[in-house]
Amino acid sequence: MEDDSQLKLYATVATRLKEAHRAVRALQVPEGVRKALIRKLLVITAAAKHDLPDAARRLDRLMKDLSEGRFPEGD
């Protein structure tokens, strides 16, 4: 069984991923940019299954970019 700190990190990342998806949906950006952001969130979700600390770092970086208005290029 996983230790408490690992379980807490899972819960934290899961909550933050839900918040990130909500934030992306609320953005007023072109559809291509929204799709690129959703792809990033899906990659982070997949990474969480194998390397939770790395997924948490990626999510931190993505949320920082969003808060600073830095968005990926759309299709």
What are the tens digits of pLDDT across the range 23-42?
Answer: 999 999 999 999 999 999 99
End-to-end CA distance of the chain: 42
Per the prediction, the chain carries an average pLDDT of: 91
Letter string b/e over residues 3-17, b meaning 16 or more CB atoms within 10 A of that residue's CB: eeeeeebeeebeebb
Q: pTM for the full model?
A: 0.84
Longest CA span, the chain: 44
Instruction: Give me the helix-helix angle, 4-26 and 31-48, nearest 10°.
Output: 170
7-18: average pLDDT = 93
